[in-house]
Amino acid sequence: MASTPTQTPKDPSVFEPRIVAFLCKWCSSAGSDLAGVSRMQYPSNAVPITVMCSGSVSPVYILSAFNKGADGVLVSGCHPGDCHYLKGNYFARRKIFLVQKLLSFIGIEKDRFRMSWVSAAEGAKFAQVVEEFVRDIRTLGPQRKLKAKR
């Protein structure tokens, strides 16, 4: 007789990072799908938001994610030179540089924000990026600086 797995409730005292992941539809979102269909194991802490291009991610989206309680924000797009819209990821890279400066100015650890390049064929890389990011955010602990009081 086969036994059914039992689910144990999560321990509320264990910090589980909440990560918002803005993923380009043409590459990183497909990379995350590949990781899923390939049954790769990686933490489920990242909430994916598919965007048309990493260049379309406004710094306001990133600050808003932190304000709504994210402990970390990931932006992932096509490799440089592979952007579906040619230069979107170059624009993203410039914006990201400014966001990092702004976050550091307001006292948020720069490691709470990350950018990566993951293609549609790189499911394993996507899983690795998320795993490393979750591990680093776990080390930093909860983000409270920008989180709105409710």
Binding site for ligand FES (CB under 6 A): 24, 26-27, 53-55, 77-78, 83-85, 88-89
Tokens at 128, concatenated: 């690795």
Report the length, in residues, of the chain. 150
How far apart are alpha carbons 130 and 68 in whole angstroms?
A: 20
Could you tell me the maximum CA-CA distance found in the chain, to the nearest angstrom? 60
Min CB(51)–ligand FES separation in Å: 8
- Looking at the Cβ atoms of 84 and 147, the one nearer to ligand FES is 84
Tokens at 130, concatenated: 């998320």
Min CB(26)–ligand FES separation in Å: 4
Min CB(150)–ligand FES separation in Å: 33
- Looking at the Cβ atoms of 15 and 85, the one nearer to ligand FES is 85
Min CB(87)–ligand FES separation in Å: 8
- Looking at the Cβ atoms of 115 and 137, the one nearer to ligand FES is 115
- Looking at the Cβ atoms of 83 and 108, the one nearer to ligand FES is 83
Q: Which of 14, 48, 16 is nearest to 33 (CA)?
A: 48
Tokens at 33, concatenated: 């799908």
Give every CB contact of residue 100 below 8 A, 6+ residues apart in sequence: 110, 113
